[in-house]
Amino acid sequence: TYQLYKENPTAFTPPLATGANAQALGSGSFARHTGSLAHSSGVFGTLGDAQSGEYILRGITTAAAWTDLFLDGISDKLILDDYSTWGAFITISARRFDVVNEVALFTLQLSLDRASGPSSVRILPGMTKSVLGRDDNTWDVKATDDTYNGALGLSVKGQGGHTIRWVARVATTEVTN
């Protein structure tokens, strides 16, 4: 017989998944965001205080205006806990829906920190953006510190009269006090 996986739960803190369609793997992981995947091999003191995360955000543009991406495609934001620091590697893919073969691919690398309260969230200096390819130079992406919600903001800009689907994968390394 074959085993797809084997676990050895010594000194184990049960993982917790509270987000819709979320998965928590390993000792002490906490998947609280919609569709999130959290992975940990232990905790400093509380669930999710030393983990990696993977989050998928999506959205559609039909105009040349900045449009936010969301975990549920509608309104669910990627909110940090108080006293959290995240390193993030973000890959964003775009594909025009109403015409074949117009695409784009971007990456962002950044550090995000939140002290006490939503207004304290900030992107640290040193963020990098790469355009790995795009058929139309007007398509663009940006990351912002959403100080209203205490979240990472991801926005995309398409083109007027063109329906473009956008998907972002956010891979994080997270530490929380």
Residue type, 163: T
CA distances from 89 to 86, 98, 106, 128, 174 (A): 10, 29, 11, 10, 12
Give the tens place of pLDDT for each residue, 122-157: 999 999 999 999 999 999 999 999 999 999 999 999
State pLDDT tens for residues 84-125: 999 999 999 999 998 888 999 999 999 999 999 999 999 999
- The pLDDT tens digits of the residues spanning 23-80 come to 999 999 999 999 999 999 999 999 999 999 999 999 999 999 999 999 999 999 999 9
In whole angstroms, give the CA distance from residue 29 to residue 91: 23
**Measured CA distances, 53 to 37, 70, 90, 156 (Å):** 6, 16, 12, 22
Question: Given this model, what pLDDT does residue 172 score?
Answer: 98
Q: How confident is the model at residue 9 (pLDDT cuts 50, 70, 90)?
A: low
- Nearest by Cα to 84 from 51, 60, 41: 51
Q: Quick check: 4 pLDDT over 90?
A: no
Contact of 30 with 47, CB cutoff 8 Å: yes
